[in-house]
């Protein structure tokens, strides 16, 4: 044992003995005081008077304390600790979430001035990320501001702190996720399903429109041109993202290109999911995700369809189904569902194709299997898949004469918009109000 440890233990022992001696002296003093009071009360001439006087003084002190409590009730700090549940609830009811972006000078203290200006308006910064540029820095925030604070007042506060090119939009609780975690989650979804790449990019960049151009990728250099981002895909297509109200930054382009490179390395992939479809006639049917390997069976199904069914599906005569199927069966364009019999013959195909902020639904059922409920089943499954991918609207392009598809879209029990242009009918379904009525996409029915 070294000298330091011995000295520490010895000092600790001496401190314990001193404390015990003091406690023992206090006990003897209390006993002596009690004995003295007892002798005065019992044997003294004024003992009873002293006892009654003490009781009266104690009673008067209690009455005075009760009266004082009624006159001065306890404040909020006496009822509970600050920041309790009621206070938090009240604060949340009076605040609003905003997504805010601004450019600031690339100089020490510039970000601090913006934060100080927001703090003066009682705006709390929930999350923040920086996008460095050659001549400045673009800072993006999720903030919680007083509900009474308007968009113009929020922008004025940022401008007072030295920010410019200010953009703001209302946010919701789903955006309260740190960016690295969000990117990892989107990369995981993309790795599992090639059809998720456009959806992942849309969720990463907010309100961005996404379009895919077949065969144009080789002639375009990847990069950012203000409000437009262009990304060539490994299959030769061009993926174009546009965001009118907010230009893209090099940091965002790097994130998007990383997701595309991940998609390129993994190659075409479709999750192996399937469900049984029970029909009253006892037909043994299975619905599953289609892959490019289904091309031959899909071509054979098109050959069994009547010209009228193909015309309703493709809005005109079809001379070469291969030209359509090579595109539709590519998982990078969306999700395709196939219905097959127990013998492996395809009898129906449905497509969910990503487009701008929504998705297009298209459907083809072989003539011999029409009017058996397959169309309704497939449309409901595709709507559920769209919601699962974060897409809130789906639409179908047809003609007013296609009463079967119109009736099928109505079966979604969702609000519908109808738009007619030059004989073409576009039916848009808003799925948010029908989310609870849509079963799981891979439930047996």
Does residue 136 sit in the same domain as residue 186?
A: no
Residue bearing the bigger pLDDT, 146 or 212: 146
Residue 355 has what pLDDT? 78
Q: Model confidence at 42, in pLDDT bands (50, 70, 90)?
A: low
Please determine, for residue 323, whether its predicted confidence score (pLDDT) is greater than 60. Answer: yes
- Residue 385 confidence (pLDDT): 92
Sorted by sequence, the CB contacts under 8 Å of residue 137 that are 6+ apart come out as 103, 104, 105, 106, 110, 111, 130, 131
| 442 part of a folded domain | no
80 domain residue, yes or no: no
* pLDDT (average), residues 138-165: 93
- The average pLDDT across 304-309 equals 90
| Contact between 40 and 33 (Cβ < 8 Å) | no
Within this chain, do residues 282 and 406 fall inside the same structural domain, yes or no?
yes
* Residue that finishes a domain, picked among 234, 266, 298: 266
Q: Please, which contacts does 78-82 make with residues 24 or more away whose CB atoms are closer than 8 Å? A: none
Tokens of 375: 């169309």
Predicted confidence (pLDDT) per residue in 219-261, tens digit: 888 999 989 999 988 778 888 889 887 889 998 999 899 988 8
Tens-place pLDDT, residues 9-34? 454 455 555 555 555 555 455 545 55
Does 328 or 47 have the greater pLDDT score?
328
Q: Would 26 be classed as within a structural domain?
A: yes
117, HSE (Cβ side, Cα atoms, 13 Å)? 17
Does some domain include residue 285?
yes
Same domain for 184 and 127: no
166-182 burial, b if ≥16 CB within 10 A, otherwise e?
A: bbbeebeeeeeeeeeee
Local confidence band at 296 (pLDDT 50, 70, 90 cut-offs):
very high
Q: Using alpha carbons, list the distances in angstroms from residue 405 to 257, 316, 384, 417.
A: 38, 16, 18, 14
User: Cα(37)–Cα(283) distance, rounded to whole angstroms?
Assistant: 101
Tell whether the model's pLDDT for residue 391 goes beyond 60. yes
Q: State how far the Cα of 422 lies from the Cα of 157, in Å rounded to an integer.
A: 49
Does the pLDDT of residue 83 top 50, yes or no? no
Q: Residue 273 above 50 pLDDT?
A: yes
What's the pLDDT at 8?
A: 45
* pLDDT greater than 90 at residue 110: yes
Q: How confident is the model at residue 47 (pLDDT cuts 50, 70, 90)?
A: low
d(CA 251, CA 133): 9
What is the number of alpha carbons within 13 Å of residue 214 lying toward its C-beta?
7
134: left (phi over 0), alpha (psi -120 to 50) or beta: alpha
C-alpha span between 229 and 252 (Å, rounded): 9
The string of DSSP letters for 227-248 reads TEEEEE-TTS-EEEEE-TTS--
Residue 444 lies in a domain: no
Looking up residue 321, the CATH number of its domain turns out to be 3.40.630.30
Statement to judge: residues 113 and 156 lie in one domain: yes
| 87-91, 149-153, 309-313: least confident range | 87-91
Decide if pLDDT at 150 tops 70. yes
Q: Which domain holds residue 245?
A: 179-266
Indicate whether 105 belongs to any domain.
yes
Please return the burial class of 427, using the count of CB atoms within 10 Å of its CB with bins 0-12, 13-18 and 19+. buried
pLDDT at 164: 94
What is the domain count for the chain?
A: 4
Give residue-wise pLDDT tens across range 393-423: 999 999 888 888 899 999 998 999 999 887 7
Is residue 205 predicted with pLDDT exceeding 80? yes
Q: Which stretches of 72-208 are DSSP H helices? A: 76-79, 85-93, 110-120, 151-160, 179-192, 197-205
Q: Which of 266, 292, 307 is the last residue of a domain?
A: 266
Question: pLDDT tens across 115-148, in order?
Answer: 999 999 999 999 888 888 888 999 999 999 999 9
pLDDT of the residue at 32 = 54
The reported pTM is: 0.65
- Shared domain for 338 and 207, answered yes or no, is no
């Amino acid at each position: 044992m070294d000298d330091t440890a011995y000295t520490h233990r010895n000092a600790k022992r001496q401190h314990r003995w001193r404390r015990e001696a003091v406690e023992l002296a206090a006990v003897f003093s209390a006993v002596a005081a009690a004995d003295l009071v007892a002798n005065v009360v019992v044997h003294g001439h004024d003992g009873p008077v002293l006892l009654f006087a003490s009781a009266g003084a104690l009673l008067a002190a209690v009455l005075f304390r009760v009266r004082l409590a009624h006159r001065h009730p306890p404040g909020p700090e006496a009822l509970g600790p600050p920041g309790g549940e009621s206070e938090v609830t009240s604060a949340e009811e009076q605040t609003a979430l905003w997504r805010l972006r601004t450019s600031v000078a690339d100089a020490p203290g510039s970000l601090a001035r913006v934060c100080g200006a927001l703090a003066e308006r009682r705006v709390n910064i929930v999350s923040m990320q920086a996008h460095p540029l050659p001549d400045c820095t673009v800072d993006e925030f999720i903030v919680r501001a007083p509900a009474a604070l308007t968009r113009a007042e929020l922008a004025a506060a940022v401008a007072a702190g030295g920010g410019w090119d200010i953009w703001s939009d209302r946010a919701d609780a789903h955006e309260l996720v740190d960016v690295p975690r969000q990117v990892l989650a989107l990369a995981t979804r993309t790795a599992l399903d090639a059809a998720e790449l456009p959806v992942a990019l849309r969720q990463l960049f907010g309100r961005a429109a996404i379009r895919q151009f077949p065969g144009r990728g080789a002639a375009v250099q990847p990069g950012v041109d203000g409000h437009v981002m262009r990304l060539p895909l490994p299959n030769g297509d061009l993926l174009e993202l546009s965001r009118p109200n907010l230009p893209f930054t090099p940091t965002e382009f790097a994130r998007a290109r990383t997701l595309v490179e991940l998609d390129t390395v993994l190659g075409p992939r479709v999750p192996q999911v399937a469900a049984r479809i029970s029909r009253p006639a006892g037909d043994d049917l299975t619905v599953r995700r289609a892959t490019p390997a289904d091309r031959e069976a899909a071509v054979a199904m098109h050959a069994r369809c009547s010209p009228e069914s193909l015309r309703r599906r493709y809005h005109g005569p079809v001379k070469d189904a291969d030209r359509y199927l090579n595109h539709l069966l590519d998982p990078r364009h969306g999700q395709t569902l196939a219905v097959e019999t127990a013998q492996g013959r395809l009898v129906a195909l449905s497509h969910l194709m990503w487009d701008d902020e929504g998705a297009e639904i298209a459907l083809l059922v072989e003539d011999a299997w029409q009017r058996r409920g397959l169309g309704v089943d497939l449309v409901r499954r595709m709507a559920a898949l769209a919601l699962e991918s974060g897409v809130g609207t789906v639409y179908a392009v047809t003609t007013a004469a296609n009463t079967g598809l119109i009736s099928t879209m109505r079966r979604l029990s969702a609000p519908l918009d109808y738009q007619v242009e030059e004989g073409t009918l576009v039916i848009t379904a808003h799925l948010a109000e029908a989310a609870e009525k849509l079963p799981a996409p891979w439930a047996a029915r």
